[in-house]
Amino acid sequence: MQEEVAYLRIFSEVSRAVLSVLDVEAVLGLIAERIVRPLGIKASALRLLDERTHRLELAASHGLSEEYLGKGALFADRSIADALRGRPVLVENAPVDDRIQYREEARAEGIASILSVPMLVKGRTIGVLRIYTAEPRRFSQEELDLISAIAEIGAIAIDNARIFEAKGAELSELFKVGGIDYEYEPPVAEDRFKPGLNDDIGEQKSYPYFRTLYRLTRTITSTMEMKDLLEAVAREIAEALLVRGCCLFWLNTLTRELEPMASCGLSDAYVRKGPLSMDKSIPRVLNGRTVWIADVRTDAAIQYPEEAQKEGIFSMLSVPISVKDKVRGVLRLYSSTSRSFDAEEIEFAKILAEISGIAIVNAKLYQERTNDITFWKTTLDYLGIGEP
């Protein structure tokens, strides 16, 4: 009997990995590698559409032999053609199914079933994610949802990485025009965020939490513009955890103050009530601890208790956002009534905080790159050097 699939664990680990890098090749490799073991499959491969030739080119794989990968071009594989139309296609017995182009090679490789899933960006198919199993296997609708979600988030991450790489190339050209020798290198950030084990989330909540995280991740990957992105993230988190409000803070390491990045469900007067000191406002969070405040009226860790009461806040949950093992921000959840959080909700809040941190860092990197381009264009124009 097949074991229960840990939907949330798999999706959160894969999505956090691929969203933590801004390099196309790295994103592709991470997707291919990270889905094999947790899904209990033999291998995976990603093929992307070449916009010039309109052919599917192998971009990354894991678990397949060089001999199988070099078997030849895919031009008559009907399962691939069907997947390119936007729906998953399962071939349960690949060695004998005439939809598969290289049946004998599949048999020699020890492949039984092949699942082809489209990689979609805004309704546009950019490639196909292929799943290979050693034994004939059918996939439940929930498993198909999970694999399709991974394929979609991977596709969007690839698209965003391409945009970022284009910005880097543009900056390189501007530097060259200005006489500066600069070669763009994408920021490799695979180790920025340390994935948790999610052991406190049981099977009953794993699938619904995965669906919630999928919606949030789609929101995060929809844009790199800081303001719109983070406001949407705050709104999604508040709705997901059924709280009155949510605020994302980022730590200013010079002033040691928490600066609000985005909020939902809170008045602007409350969000901008005054400097929020990391050493005075729930300081235990600085040590990486998630802190629940049962009653803001009586807890000494609250820096602005009167303002919180006036806002109608009763309970508060503060979750650290860590980057390379250092707390760089805080996700805060606010309730109007006495609200406790069980272990599963707290673990899920930690995952949401980590995804929020990825969103903030990526948006900051994109904003910095955009600002650099604007600055150098203005400088070159002022100097009369002209554009590349």
* Domain extent listing, the chain: 7-162, 203-371
Q: Residue 124 is inside which H or E element, if any?
A: strand 124-133
Rounded average pLDDT over 154-174 = 77
The pTM of the full predicted model, rounded to 2 decimals, is 0.79
Give the strand order in the sheet containing 89-91.
Answer: 56-62, 43-49, 124-133, 113-121, 89-91
What pLDDT does 199 receive?
53
- Alpha-carbon Rg for the chain in angstroms: 24
**Cα 124 to Cα 364: distance, rounded to the nearest angstrom:** 27
**Cα 314 to Cα 331: distance, rounded to the nearest angstrom:** 17
Q: Taking a C-beta distance cutoff of 8 angstroms, is the pair 159, 49 a contact?
A: no
What pLDDT does 190 receive?
41
Terminal alpha carbon distance of the chain: 62
Which among 34-38, 192-196, 359-363 has the top mean pLDDT? 34-38
Q: Residue 319 is inside which H or E element, if any?
A: strand 315-323
Helix (H, G, I), strand (E, B) or coil at 207: helix
**Which of 86-100, 132-146, 162-176, 355-369 has the least mean pLDDT?**
162-176
Task: Count, in order, helices (H) and strands (E) of the chain.
Answer: 12, 10
For the stretch 34-82, pLDDT in tens is: 889 888 999 999 998 887 777 888 999 999 999 999 887 777 677 888 8
**Cα 321 to Cα 328: distance, rounded to the nearest angstrom:** 6
Residues 6+ apart with CB under 8 A from 313: 244, 245, 296, 334, 335, 336
What pLDDT does 1 receive?
32
φ/ψ (deg, to 5) at 169: -65, -40
The neighbour count for residue 16, using CB atoms within 10 Å, is 23
Q: Taking a C-beta distance cutoff of 8 angstroms, is the pair 199, 351 a contact?
A: no
φ/ψ (deg, to 5) at 183: -120, 120
Homologous superfamily (CATH) for 7-162: GAF domain (3.30.450.40)
Residue 79 token pair: 């399962």
Rounded average pLDDT over 257-275 = 93
Residue 336 token pair: 């109007």
Helix (H, G, I), strand (E, B) or coil at 42: coil
Q: Taking a C-beta distance cutoff of 8 angstroms, is the pair 291, 263 a contact?
A: no
* Whether CATH 3.30.450.40 fits 203-371: yes
**Which of 207-211, 228-232, 314-318 has the least mean pLDDT?**
228-232
Name residue 211's amino acid.
Answer: R
Location of structure tokens 């020699």: 108
What pLDDT does 248 receive?
94
For the stretch 108-127, pLDDT in tens is: 999 999 999 999 888 888 99
Top pLDDT among 369 and 31 is at 31
Mean pLDDT computed over every residue of the chain: 84
Does the structure show a pLDDT above 60 at 191?
no
Residue 309 token pair: 């009461």
Residue 220 token pair: 């995060």
